[in-house]
Chains A and B, each alone.
Chain A
Amino acid sequence: MYGLCDCNNFFASCERLFRPDLEGRPVVVLSNNDGCIIARSNEAKALGIGMGQPLYQVQQLIEQRRVTLFSANFALYGDISRRVMATLRSLVPNTEVYSIDEAFFDLHGIEEPLDDYGRQISRTIRRNTGIPVSIGIAPTKTLAKIASKLAKQYPKLEGCCYMHRPQDIEKVLTTFPLRDVWGIGRRYGKLFDGMGIRTARQFVQLPQEWVHARMGITGLRTWNELQGLECIAFEQMPPHKQQITVSRSFPKEIHTHEELDHIIAEFAAMCAEKLRAQHSVCREVIAYIYTNRHREDQPQRYESGLATLAEPSGSTIEIVKQARSVLQQIYRSGFGYKKAGVTLSEILPTSHVQGSLFDPVDRQKQQRLMETMDKVNRTYGKGKVIIAAQGTQPFRMNREHLSPRYTTDWNELPVVKAD
């Protein structure tokens, strides 16, 4: 059996942990730059505020119903996520952290009753970290995901849904929306809507050959997993990311090359730091710039370009240089740019790099320099040592509703009254 531990409305729950006045009240969290809604408390969902909805569309509702807004505070969410995962690890034999708010765990060898076991996990995480979680337990990871959604939906399950008897599974699949199945999502949602296939059960009844031909091996895995056949392996070590992206929308449109150049350099430097943190190097650097698609009255331009590094590298200096050269190629004046981004691809582990005899760059020296830079920035705070191209005015996000970093900064600790 596999389990999935999924935090309920995670970002909103993190914000509420230190704001007891918001218990039972609608809360939403906004994306970087306060653009879209990325998390909602149950009360906010009940008001009809949609996931991913742009803020301006719900502005009126938010004011009328006194919804509390928060800018994304990833320093806080990251710390609380670590606490939830550490607590889970202390309760189960093996975990696979799947995202900031979800982790699978392996229950092989654990004795029944597993629903009591799951409830115990849910209660303990709630008590120790203050974050409500839903536990799903089932024969495959795909079914465990479905079970966790049921646990969230039905409060009387007390935080855990154990779904294991074939007749129970079949009953659940008969009504479970296919769109919400792990691996189906938006990509295949439209296809199946068009075919009139709406439930997981209908999907399972499709012929195997058809699923294989139409959706390939990954679709077939989902098809098998829904029938209780284990196809998606349990991975204790997260696989290395195959792409690393940093992109942002700007609060205001940007009209000059100089300003964009600083931003692209900064994004490239952030990507390079993430790349080194996972002990990898990359071969390709992609940069892109977009105008504001909501302003139909203005000329539009969407451009991207790619540069290939002579040798795979994780050096900020080289990656920033390539990203800037791409920008040089794709930039045209006379447009108001609203969004830019940098993506690194062709990523491989540092240990897999073969040296080249004619490499003009002293790799070891670069590596030592980067290690030193990362160490300084870790010790003395982000951005203390940067590449000059990033400029001295770092890119500032719009974060009007940012909460304190309650758990990661001595100056921002929660205050308790003694009066």
Chain B
Amino acid sequence: MKKENDKLTFYRPDIATRQEIPVAGSDVKAGFPSPADDFLDLPLDLNRELVRNPASTFFVRVAGDSMTGDGIGNGDLLIVDKSIDPHDGCIAICCLDGEFTVKRLKLESDGVWLLPSNPAYKPIHAGRNNDFRIWGVVRHVIKSFK
């Protein structure tokens, strides 16, 4: 996208991981140079912070309230990275008997415990008789306030 063609002004800014790099003191023609010029940093990019590995990161939506104790509520957005190896105690998206579910994992020798964090729900044991797979590890939760 060339700058000189940007005569129309009604475009929404394309913020999809594009960062303009600030140019030091570009507007200062004369006079006192900005004392901040020696301390220039890049602006913060949420994409870079929350999406470490774009090729393996997926966004999914939560339906249900079994994980409220971990701050995961109905309608929240989860950022899931499939490239991370699941570890004991991580929160993960699992496929249990053909359905996606989000739970905290407790890995044990005889299977996996899926732990809810709302006392209204009971832990689920996924053993040899279940069709069970870990789909991806949840790295972040995004809540939006109305």
Contacts and interface: CB of A to CB of B under 8 A. Distances in A.
Given A379-B11, A413-B60, A418-B64, A86 B98 contact: no
A90 B54 CA distance: 12
Nearest to B12: A379
A415 B82 contact: no
Contacts of A84: 55
29 contacts: A20-B95, A20-B133, A23-B95, A23-B133, A82-B55, A84-B55, A86-B55, A87-B56, A90-B55, A124-B83, A128-B55, A128-B56, A129-B55, A129-B56, A375-B11, A407-B59, A410-B59, A414-B60, A414-B61, A414-B100, A416-B60, A416-B78, A417-B64, A417-B99, A417-B100, A418-B62, A418-B65, A418-B72, A419-B65
A57 B67 CA distance: 48
A296 B74 CA distance: 57
B105 interface: no
B55 A20 contact: no
The 7 closest A-B pairs by CB, nearest first: A21-B98, A418-B64, A20-B95, A128-B56, A419-B64, A86-B55, A416-B100
B135 interface: yes
Contact of B63 (A83, A130, A406, A417): A417
A417 B60 contact: no
Contacts of A414: 58, 60-61, 100
Interface in A387-419: 406-407, 410, 413-419
Interface in B39-56: 53-56
A128 B63 contact: no
B68 to A, nearest CB: 8
Contact of B14 (A21, A372, A379, A415): A379
Contacts of A90: 55
B58 A23 contact: no
A225 to B, nearest CB: 31
Contacts of A20: 95, 98-100, 133, 135
A365 interface: no
Interface string A116-142: 000000001001111000000000000
A418 B64 CA distance: 4
Nearest to B53: A128
Contacts of A294: none
Interface residues of A, number: 31
Contacts of B103: 418
Contacts, number: 96
Nearest to A88: B55
B62 A416 contact: yes
Contacts of A416: 60-63, 78, 93, 100-102
Given A375-B11, A416-B78, A83 B5 contact: no
Interface of B: 1, 5, 8, 11-12, 14, 53-56, 58-67, 72, 74, 77-78, 82-83, 93, 95, 98-103, 116, 121, 131, 133, 135
Contact of A418 (B5, B63, B83, B98): B63
A418 B61 contact: no
A415 B60 contact: yes
B76 to A, nearest CB: 9
B93 A83 contact: no
Given A21-B99, A83-B56, A129-B82, A418 B133 contact: no
Contacts of A21: 98-99
A130 B82 contact: yes
Contacts of A415: 60-63, 100
Nearest to A372: B8
Contacts of B60: 413-416
A83 B81 CA distance: 12
B83 A127 contact: yes
A419 B117 CA distance: 11
A417 B102 contact: yes
Contacts of B83: 124, 127-128
A127 B82 contact: yes
A246 to B, nearest CB: 26
A127 to B, nearest CB: 6
A83 B67 CA distance: 29
A371 interface: yes
Contacts of B1: 375
Nearest to A378: B14
B69 to A, nearest CB: 11
A331 to B, nearest CB: 38
A324 B67 CA distance: 59
